[in-house]
Copies of this chain bind each other. A is one copy, B any other.
Amino acid sequence: MSEVLARKTEEFNKGLTTVDDLARQVEDLRKKVENFRPGAEDKISIIVFSGDLDKVLAAFIIATGAVAMGMEAVMFFTFWGTPVLRDPKKKAGGKDLMGKMFGFMLPKGRNAIKLSKMNMAGMGTSMMKSLMKKKNVASLDEMLDMAADLGVKIYICDMSMNLMGFKREEFIDYPNMEYVGVATFLEQAKNSKVQLFI
Protein backbone atom coordinates (compact mmCIF):
# COMPACT_ATOMS: atom_id res chain seq x y z
CA MET A 1 0.00 0.00 0.00
CA SER A 2 2.69 2.46 0.86
CA GLU A 3 4.20 1.73 -2.56
CA VAL A 4 1.00 2.73 -4.37
CA LEU A 5 0.59 5.82 -2.33
CA ALA A 6 4.18 6.78 -2.88
CA ARG A 7 3.80 6.44 -6.66
CA LYS A 8 0.60 8.40 -6.81
CA THR A 9 2.01 11.17 -4.76
CA GLU A 10 5.15 11.28 -6.83
CA GLU A 11 3.08 11.55 -10.04
CA PHE A 12 1.02 14.28 -8.52
CA ASN A 13 4.06 16.21 -7.39
CA LYS A 14 5.66 15.81 -10.82
CA GLY A 15 2.58 17.45 -12.32
CA LEU A 16 1.49 14.27 -14.12
CA THR A 17 -2.13 13.81 -15.09
CA THR A 18 -4.48 13.85 -12.18
CA VAL A 19 -8.08 12.78 -12.01
CA ASP A 20 -9.10 16.42 -12.17
CA ASP A 21 -7.12 16.95 -15.35
CA LEU A 22 -8.59 13.84 -16.87
CA ALA A 23 -12.09 14.83 -15.93
CA ARG A 24 -11.62 18.15 -17.71
CA GLN A 25 -10.21 16.43 -20.81
CA VAL A 26 -13.04 13.93 -20.88
CA GLU A 27 -15.57 16.77 -20.60
CA ASP A 28 -13.90 18.59 -23.52
CA LEU A 29 -14.02 15.44 -25.62
CA ARG A 30 -17.64 14.79 -24.72
CA LYS A 31 -18.62 18.27 -25.92
CA LYS A 32 -16.69 17.82 -29.17
CA VAL A 33 -18.22 14.41 -29.82
CA GLU A 34 -21.71 15.66 -29.07
CA ASN A 35 -21.38 18.57 -31.47
CA PHE A 36 -20.02 16.42 -34.24
CA ARG A 37 -21.96 16.27 -37.49
CA PRO A 38 -22.01 12.60 -38.49
CA GLY A 39 -21.19 11.58 -42.07
CA ALA A 40 -23.78 10.11 -44.43
CA GLU A 41 -24.95 6.53 -44.74
CA ASP A 42 -23.44 4.20 -47.32
CA LYS A 43 -26.25 4.95 -49.75
CA ILE A 44 -26.78 6.49 -53.20
CA SER A 45 -29.89 8.49 -54.13
CA ILE A 46 -30.60 9.13 -57.81
CA ILE A 47 -33.24 11.42 -59.25
CA VAL A 48 -34.26 10.01 -62.63
CA PHE A 49 -35.73 13.12 -64.24
CA SER A 50 -34.83 12.14 -67.79
CA GLY A 51 -36.74 9.63 -69.86
CA ASP A 52 -33.95 9.14 -72.41
CA LEU A 53 -32.77 5.56 -72.89
CA ASP A 54 -29.07 6.42 -72.45
CA LYS A 55 -29.63 8.34 -69.22
CA VAL A 56 -32.04 5.81 -67.71
CA LEU A 57 -29.51 3.07 -68.53
CA ALA A 58 -26.76 5.08 -66.86
CA ALA A 59 -28.96 5.52 -63.77
CA PHE A 60 -29.53 1.76 -63.49
CA ILE A 61 -25.86 0.92 -64.16
CA ILE A 62 -24.85 3.26 -61.33
CA ALA A 63 -27.58 2.09 -58.93
CA THR A 64 -26.93 -1.62 -59.45
CA GLY A 65 -23.16 -1.04 -59.40
CA ALA A 66 -23.49 0.73 -56.06
CA VAL A 67 -25.52 -2.13 -54.54
CA ALA A 68 -22.97 -4.63 -55.88
CA MET A 69 -20.39 -2.66 -53.87
CA GLY A 70 -22.44 -3.04 -50.71
CA MET A 71 -24.20 0.33 -50.80
CA GLU A 72 -27.95 0.93 -50.60
CA ALA A 73 -29.58 2.54 -53.65
CA VAL A 74 -32.75 4.61 -54.06
CA MET A 75 -34.05 5.83 -57.42
CA PHE A 76 -36.66 8.60 -57.54
CA PHE A 77 -38.46 8.67 -60.91
CA THR A 78 -39.95 12.06 -61.71
CA PHE A 79 -41.11 14.10 -64.74
CA TRP A 80 -39.99 12.35 -67.98
CA GLY A 81 -38.60 9.46 -65.95
CA THR A 82 -42.07 8.50 -64.67
CA PRO A 83 -43.51 6.98 -67.90
CA VAL A 84 -40.42 4.73 -68.19
CA LEU A 85 -41.90 2.61 -65.41
CA ARG A 86 -45.27 2.13 -67.08
CA ASP A 87 -46.20 -1.42 -68.03
CA PRO A 88 -47.29 -1.46 -71.70
CA LYS A 89 -49.55 -4.46 -71.04
CA LYS A 90 -51.48 -2.67 -68.30
CA LYS A 91 -54.29 -0.15 -68.77
CA ALA A 92 -55.82 2.42 -66.47
CA GLY A 93 -59.34 3.74 -66.84
CA GLY A 94 -61.03 6.85 -65.53
CA LYS A 95 -58.60 9.36 -67.02
CA ASP A 96 -59.60 12.85 -68.06
CA LEU A 97 -58.78 14.23 -71.53
CA MET A 98 -55.38 15.62 -70.49
CA GLY A 99 -54.47 12.35 -68.80
CA LYS A 100 -55.44 10.44 -71.94
CA MET A 101 -53.34 12.78 -74.10
CA PHE A 102 -50.27 12.47 -71.87
CA GLY A 103 -50.80 8.72 -71.71
CA PHE A 104 -50.81 8.61 -75.47
CA MET A 105 -47.91 11.00 -76.13
CA LEU A 106 -45.45 9.78 -73.49
CA PRO A 107 -43.54 6.53 -74.08
CA LYS A 108 -45.29 3.41 -72.83
CA GLY A 109 -42.59 1.89 -70.68
CA ARG A 110 -38.90 1.23 -70.86
CA ASN A 111 -38.90 -0.39 -74.29
CA ALA A 112 -40.39 2.67 -75.93
CA ILE A 113 -37.78 5.23 -74.83
CA LYS A 114 -35.14 6.66 -77.17
CA LEU A 115 -31.54 7.85 -77.03
CA SER A 116 -31.06 11.54 -76.16
CA LYS A 117 -28.63 11.86 -79.12
CA MET A 118 -28.28 10.09 -82.43
CA ASN A 119 -31.76 8.63 -82.23
CA MET A 120 -32.00 9.17 -86.01
CA ALA A 121 -35.70 8.29 -86.24
CA GLY A 122 -35.17 5.27 -84.02
CA MET A 123 -32.29 3.80 -86.05
CA GLY A 124 -29.64 4.93 -83.54
CA THR A 125 -31.71 3.55 -80.68
CA SER A 126 -32.08 0.09 -82.20
CA MET A 127 -28.41 0.10 -83.26
CA MET A 128 -27.46 0.83 -79.64
CA LYS A 129 -29.72 -1.93 -78.36
CA SER A 130 -28.31 -4.56 -80.72
CA LEU A 131 -24.80 -3.34 -79.91
CA MET A 132 -25.45 -3.68 -76.17
CA LYS A 133 -26.62 -7.25 -76.76
CA LYS A 134 -23.52 -8.07 -78.82
CA LYS A 135 -21.17 -6.52 -76.26
CA ASN A 136 -22.91 -8.22 -73.34
CA VAL A 137 -24.12 -4.98 -71.76
CA ALA A 138 -27.34 -5.64 -69.84
CA SER A 139 -30.52 -4.29 -71.46
CA LEU A 140 -32.96 -2.12 -69.54
CA ASP A 141 -35.18 -5.20 -69.02
CA GLU A 142 -32.29 -7.12 -67.50
CA MET A 143 -31.22 -4.07 -65.47
CA LEU A 144 -34.66 -3.82 -63.92
CA ASP A 145 -34.65 -7.50 -62.99
CA MET A 146 -31.19 -7.09 -61.50
CA ALA A 147 -32.26 -3.96 -59.60
CA ALA A 148 -35.26 -5.85 -58.19
CA ASP A 149 -33.05 -8.81 -57.15
CA LEU A 150 -30.45 -6.55 -55.59
CA GLY A 151 -33.05 -4.61 -53.63
CA VAL A 152 -32.72 -1.23 -55.35
CA LYS A 153 -35.57 0.88 -53.98
CA ILE A 154 -37.73 2.68 -56.55
CA TYR A 155 -39.74 5.76 -55.69
CA ILE A 156 -42.28 7.23 -58.12
CA CYS A 157 -42.94 10.96 -57.74
CA ASP A 158 -46.58 11.46 -56.83
CA MET A 159 -46.65 15.03 -58.17
CA SER A 160 -45.55 13.83 -61.61
CA MET A 161 -48.21 11.13 -61.57
CA ASN A 162 -50.82 13.70 -60.64
CA LEU A 163 -49.64 16.10 -63.37
CA MET A 164 -49.47 13.50 -66.12
CA GLY A 165 -52.62 11.74 -64.99
CA PHE A 166 -50.95 8.38 -64.41
CA LYS A 167 -52.63 5.76 -62.22
CA ARG A 168 -50.84 3.26 -60.01
CA GLU A 169 -52.40 0.32 -61.83
CA GLU A 170 -50.54 1.11 -65.06
CA PHE A 171 -47.05 0.77 -63.54
CA ILE A 172 -44.79 -2.28 -63.63
CA ASP A 173 -44.70 -4.88 -60.86
CA TYR A 174 -41.59 -4.22 -58.82
CA PRO A 175 -40.94 -5.62 -55.35
CA ASN A 176 -39.64 -2.45 -53.74
CA MET A 177 -41.63 0.44 -55.20
CA GLU A 178 -43.37 3.34 -53.45
CA TYR A 179 -45.32 6.41 -54.55
CA VAL A 180 -43.88 9.36 -52.63
CA GLY A 181 -43.43 13.12 -52.58
CA VAL A 182 -40.19 15.04 -52.93
CA ALA A 183 -39.81 15.27 -49.12
CA THR A 184 -39.55 11.49 -48.76
CA PHE A 185 -36.85 11.42 -51.40
CA LEU A 186 -34.93 14.33 -49.86
CA GLU A 187 -34.99 12.55 -46.51
CA GLN A 188 -33.09 9.69 -48.14
CA ALA A 189 -30.86 11.92 -50.25
CA LYS A 190 -29.60 13.96 -47.32
CA ASN A 191 -28.50 10.82 -45.53
CA SER A 192 -26.75 9.44 -48.64
CA LYS A 193 -23.09 9.61 -49.52
CA VAL A 194 -23.88 10.19 -53.19
CA GLN A 195 -26.75 12.04 -54.88
CA LEU A 196 -27.21 12.46 -58.61
CA PHE A 197 -29.75 14.26 -60.79
CA ILE A 198 -29.94 12.40 -64.08
Contacts and interface: CB of A to CB of B under 8 A. Distances in A.
Contacts of A80: 54, 116-117
Contact of A198 (B132, B135, B183, B197): B197
Q: How many copies of this kind of chain does the complex include?
A: 3
A111 interface: no
Interface string A70-105: 010000001110000000000000000010010001
A140 to B, nearest CB: 14
Interface residues of chain A: helix, strand, loop or mixed (majority): helix
Contact of A163 (B8, B71, B131, B197): B131
Kindly name the residue among A13, A41, A62, A198 whose own CB sees the greatest number of chain B CB atoms within 10 A. A62
Contacts of A12: 4
